[in-house]
Amino acid sequence: MSLASYFLVLLPLVSLSLALVSRPDLAENTVRLQNLQGGGGLIGARDSVPAGYVAAPYYPAPPGGWVSNWTAAYAKAQVVVANMTLAEKVNLTTGTGELMGPCVGNTGSAMRFGIPNLCLQDSALGIAATESESFGVDLPLPICELKNDNYIDNTAFPAGITVGATFSKVLMYERGLALGAEARGKGVNIQLGPTVGPLGRKPRGGRNWEGFGADPVLQAWGGAETIKGMQENGVIATVKHFIGNEQEEYRMDIIPHGLMKAISSNIDDRTLHELYSWPFAEAIRAGVGAIMIAYNDVNGSACSQNSMLINGILKDEFGFQGLVMSDWLAQISGVGSALAGLDMAMPGDGDIPFLGLAYWAYELSTSILNGSVPLSRLNDAVTRIVATWYQFGQDQDYPLPNFSANTDDPTGPCYPAALISPTCVTNEYVNVQVDHNIVARNVSREAITLLKNANKTLPLSTNATLKIFGTDAGNNPSGINACNQRACDEGVLGMGWGSGTANYPYLDAPIDAIRRKAADVTFYATDTFPTGITAVTGDIAMVFINSDSGENQETVDGNLGDRSSTGLYAYNNGDALVEAAAAKYATVIVVVHTVGPIIVENWIDLPSVKAVIFAHLPGQEAGDSLTDIIFGDYSPSGHLPYSIPVAEDDYPSSVSLVGFELFQVQDTFSEGLYIDYRYLNKNKVAPRFAFGHGLSYTTFSMTSMTISSVTALTSTPPARAPKGATPVYSSAIPPASEVAWPTGFSAISRYLYPYVDDPESITATGTFSYPTGYSTIPKDPPPAGGSQGGNPALWDVMYSISVTVTNTGSVPGKEVVMLFLQYPSDSAWDTPIIQLRAFEKTDTLAVDASETVTLQVTRKDLSIWDVVSQNWVIPVSDTEPFVFWVGEGTGNLTMACESLSKSCNGGRASPVTVPAR
């Protein structure tokens, strides 16, 4: 979400807007609704999406409640919703407005049923904005940057990309468990994470680091295990951003909505299924309670009101039973978004923030009374919200928020955006960190990816003479939380910038951790190589460099969220620093903190650059997690969750950032399935470091590989079961009096309520102009659906592959085993040469110790999305096998099992035939 850009834009606009803008009415919503399917912003012009891309209608919204393990929660919700007034229903669907409650999002309440204002709070790596920021937004006033770091009592966990680099399902889950415990401890009902979109299609994309890596299966495991851990605490997790938000710049409609539409991600159906929606389907399968839609359009229709995406794919095909919310201010119409399946509008005042102007709240009440939104749609939205609340037991002793995202003061205005606000206890300073520093450090350490280690330069002796260069080794001299939402590149890079951040309680800088271990350490806290340095034989130089990115509302070093300015090179002239050190010292170790791939060609082959470490984004435990590795207490076991190319233009131009186009920027995913290693392999381009690459201090063998067939292959899955029943309510339009202002009600100015001034005057007009393709007749259930995530048969295990991993080296260590699928050579489908389908990480293996790991390949793993039958099909062949390549990355696959012969062999020629560099 982005508050800051709006706030900045709004300050000058507010008075103007007050004069010019009357309350939006249904007619205005209608205009926007017509725009959404037909094309044309409010001013009537925009580039059309490329030929062939269509935003197909999918109506009506499929009601929730038909999946068996939500039955009990829906039964409870049904009793409540059946008894609710229209005002109570509308309350739960709409946020109370920007800065209108303690959290970044707050719904209205329904206290007759014990349902409080639900608290929605960032982020995917920790509880954001706790007790620290004056308004949770970057006001253009210096006072707002005053912070007291001592107050911070949450953990700043390593970012998603770091978690992905561990390839450890155990750590993915444990970090999620700790994140959820902190959310619950703070009274957060709905935590805004994990992020599985963007997927990392564009190496420069600003928010890739919030997710787990540029592969749908890795991303899916990261998301699903995080969700399971978070929700174990009773917290509702939110998987986001659905979908196609692969670039930050132009992601939003510009105020006023309609002048320039948000970027359109034009994605074909097969690519959507096999890449971008895959992690979302797996999140739904894992039982996620909430989904946040993205700002951008898909095929020219905004995600917040794209009926194919929400009604069709999420709710029907993927069987999603929870609630779909807008990203902050992503909603651009009232009726249109309701019909398209949106259940919750955040932060509520989406029409014009801070002025109490909403698309829902009182407008939703009006649209029910005048018949434009069927009551059944509102009933479903509210039932989904209440059922989700019950599904996670939030009716039982769930804490209320005890912190404020708006202030670090103990008391203050309850509603900072109100003209006059009552005073509240804003912060109770509840420390929720417990021992979560341990899991944070475990993740950061296990993520550390050793890319190069010539002559076993690492690990170092603690007796070594160390010369440390680069500001990235130390802390930001202005303070670890000095930059709002970490929007600067000062000091060690523990996370990117934007809403996907948290405040640091402390930040263990690498230099401090190194000094705790080693005696002879000199630190040059500069990014310009100092003059007058004389290197002495035996000196070891460590050079710290980084590359940052973040959310579009803030710009860092000219980078507009995406790495638009620095590209894939290190910030702060990091390459020059490495090169200068390499010219002086015989042994240089480069440590990189980064949001994603950087181009290392300027120095990687310099003779003195002996070792290179990617420490990703380690969060608060940047120091000890690194020294654990460099001094050899642990062997590195991280692996690259993306490829590192030799040059950026080794990738297709379609994954470059797209620039300005009048009215709407078109971002067409013309490379289809071919992103990251899938593209490089197809085009026989060797990366510098392959997806999955990561060295160890020890060596492993993989032996005794076996394959067994578990389920007989058929090309299509067994037919899905019919849907179960869903709650049935009266469809009569409720009495208008239900949304009349209660007598004696003292309203907070600009706060959003469900109440309408003269509700009795609203009558059904029958003139509403519904979108093309609108229907109230339920569609036949899609063949690919059937339960959460899709047809349950998609997760039937078809093959099971086992391999014994033995530590053949001289120190303990962990190994990651990855399985890549190659389709039968006679398959008529165009498919990437190999695709990651499963992975496992061993426990710590002592020298000579072994562990047998088992990798399971499901029906979905073998399937291709057939756009014609709208189902997953396996290209079964009688003569050509599926080949399952097993190794520790895409770079050097030599062992494989085959499906037909059930044989497994080593010493094979890699399927990836790229010329050596």
Ligand X SMILES: *[C@@H]1O[C@H](CO)[C@@H](O)[C@H](O)[C@H]1NC(C)=O
Closest separation in Å from C-beta 83 to ligand X: 4
Stretch that binds ligand X, among 104-112, 152-160, 380-388, 489-497 (CB under 6 A): 104-112
- Cβ(816)–Cβ(840) below 8 Å: yes
- In whole angstroms, give the CA distance from residue 342 to residue 293: 9
The reply to whether 287 sits near ligand X by the rule CB under 6 A is yes
How many alpha carbons lie under 13 Å from residue 831 in its C-beta half-sphere?
Answer: 24
Rounded to 5 degrees, what are φ and ψ at 373?
-100, 120
- In whole angstroms, give the CA distance from residue 678 to residue 613: 24
Binding mask 521-560 for ligand X (x = CB under 6 A): ----------------------------------------
Stretch that binds ligand X, among 85-93, 192-200, 207-215, 364-372 (CB under 6 A): 85-93
Rounded to 5 degrees, what are φ and ψ at 308?
-65, -40
Minimum CB distance to ligand X smaller for 602 or for 877:
602
The reply to whether 299 sits near ligand X by the rule CB under 6 A is yes
The reply to whether 79 sits near ligand X by the rule CB under 6 A is yes
Site size with ligand X, rule: CB under 6 A:
34
Which has the closest alpha carbon to 128: 163, 160, 154?
154
- Cβ(543)–Cβ(608) below 8 Å: no
Closest separation in Å from C-beta 753 to ligand X: 6
- In whole angstroms, give the CA distance from residue 233 to residue 270: 36
Minimum CB distance to ligand X smaller for 247 or for 476:
247
Among residues 28, 88, 174, 408, which is the contact residue for ligand X, using CB under 6 A?
A: 88
The reply to whether 407 sits near ligand X by the rule CB under 6 A is no
The reply to whether 52 sits near ligand X by the rule CB under 6 A is yes
The reply to whether 55 sits near ligand X by the rule CB under 6 A is yes
Among residues 30, 117, 394, 444, which is the contact residue for ligand X, using CB under 6 A?
A: 117
Rounded to 5 degrees, what are φ and ψ at 664?
-160, 130
The reply to whether 53 sits near ligand X by the rule CB under 6 A is yes
Token representation of residue 575:
């390459």
The reply to whether 894 sits near ligand X by the rule CB under 6 A is yes
Specify the pairing of strand 449-453 against strand 609-614: antiparallel
Stretch that binds ligand X, among 79-87, 250-258, 565-573, 642-650 (CB under 6 A): 79-87
The reply to whether 653 sits near ligand X by the rule CB under 6 A is no
Closest separation in Å from C-beta 68 to ligand X: 7
Among residues 56, 254, 482, 533, which is the contact residue for ligand X, using CB under 6 A?
A: 56
The reply to whether 913 sits near ligand X by the rule CB under 6 A is no
Closest separation in Å from C-beta 102 to ligand X: 12
DSSP 779: P
Closest separation in Å from C-beta 14 to ligand X: 23
* DSSP assignment string, 193-243: --B--S-S-STT-TTGGGSS-SSHHHHHHHHHHHHHHHHTTTPEEEEEEET
Stretch that binds ligand X, among 82-90, 129-137, 442-450, 661-669 (CB under 6 A): 82-90
Closest separation in Å from C-beta 499 to ligand X: 23
Which residue shows structure tokens 């009537």?
A: 44
The reply to whether 69 sits near ligand X by the rule CB under 6 A is yes
Among residues 708, 749, 769, 892, which is the contact residue for ligand X, using CB under 6 A?
A: 892
Which residue shows structure tokens 């165009």?
A: 830
Binding mask 157-196 for ligand X (x = CB under 6 A): ----------------------------------------
Stretch that binds ligand X, among 88-96, 140-148, 217-225, 597-605 (CB under 6 A): 88-96
Minimum CB distance to ligand X smaller for 141 or for 536:
536
Closest separation in Å from C-beta 224 to ligand X: 11
Which has the closest alpha carbon to 507: 522, 519, 491?
491
Closest separation in Å from C-beta 692 to ligand X: 12
Minimum CB distance to ligand X smaller for 53 or for 173:
53
User: Where in 579-618 is the site for ligand X (CB under 6 A)?
Assistant: 610
Quick check: helix, strand or coil at residue 71? helix
Residues near 20 by beta carbon (within 8 Å), at least 6 away in sequence: none
Q: Is residue 856 within a helix (H) or strand (E), and if so which, with residue range?
A: strand 850-858
User: Where in 306-325 is the site for ligand X (CB under 6 A)?
Assistant: 308-309
Among residues 268, 395, 409, 880, which is the contact residue for ligand X, using CB under 6 A?
A: 268
Minimum CB distance to ligand X smaller for 119 or for 338:
119
Stretch that binds ligand X, among 50-58, 375-383, 566-574, 762-770 (CB under 6 A): 50-58
First to last CA, the chain: 42
Closest separation in Å from C-beta 431 to ligand X: 28
The reply to whether 82 sits near ligand X by the rule CB under 6 A is yes
Minimum CB distance to ligand X smaller for 156 or for 582:
582
Q: Other CB atoms closer than 10 Å to residue 136's CB: what's the count?
A: 26
Token representation of residue 310:
């929400």
Rounded to 5 degrees, what are φ and ψ at 210?
-75, -25
- Cβ(355)–Cβ(369) below 8 Å: no
The count of residues in the chain is 917
Give strand pairing partners of 522. Answer: 467
Amino acid at 154: N
- In whole angstroms, give the CA distance from residue 816 to residue 805: 9
Minimum CB distance to ligand X smaller for 403 or for 751:
751
* DSSP assignment string, 360-421: STHHHHHHHHTTSS-HHHHHHHHHHHHHHHHHTTTTSSPPPP-S-SS-SSSEEES-TTSSS-
Closest separation in Å from C-beta 268 to ligand X: 4
Which residue shows structure tokens 């802390």?
A: 475
Amino acid at 499: S
- In whole angstroms, give the CA distance from residue 49 to residue 56: 13
User: Where in 727-746 is the site for ligand X (CB under 6 A)?
Assistant: none
User: Where in 447-466 is the site for ligand X (CB under 6 A)?
Assistant: 454-455, 461-463
Minimum CB distance to ligand X smaller for 288 or for 492:
288
Quick check: helix, strand or coil at residue 772? coil
Token representation of residue 293:
């839609």
Minimum CB distance to ligand X smaller for 40 or for 567:
40
The reply to whether 232 sits near ligand X by the rule CB under 6 A is no
Rg, the chain, Cα only: 27
Catalytic amino acids? Answer: 327
Stretch that binds ligand X, among 6-14, 84-92, 438-446, 848-856 (CB under 6 A): 84-92
- In whole angstroms, give the CA distance from residue 628 to residue 631: 6
Closest separation in Å from C-beta 456 to ligand X: 9
Minimum CB distance to ligand X smaller for 623 or for 889:
889
- In whole angstroms, give the CA distance from residue 897 to residue 906: 9
Report helix, strand and coil shares of the chain as percent, to nearest 5. 25, 15, 55
Closest separation in Å from C-beta 838 to ligand X: 18
Which residue shows structure tokens 């009232």?
A: 334
Which has the closest alpha carbon to 494: 457, 544, 460, 450?
544
Q: Is residue 681 within a helix (H) or strand (E), and if so which, with residue range?
A: helix 676-682
The reply to whether 338 sits near ligand X by the rule CB under 6 A is no
The reply to whether 879 sits near ligand X by the rule CB under 6 A is no
Closest separation in Å from C-beta 595 to ligand X: 27
Among residues 64, 108, 474, 623, which is the contact residue for ligand X, using CB under 6 A?
A: 108
Among residues 30, 91, 245, 481, which is the contact residue for ligand X, using CB under 6 A?
A: 91
Q: Which positions lie near ligand X, rule CB under 6 A?
A: 52-56, 69, 79, 82-83, 85, 87-88, 91, 96, 108-111, 117, 268-269, 287, 298-299, 308-309, 454-455, 461-463, 610, 892, 894
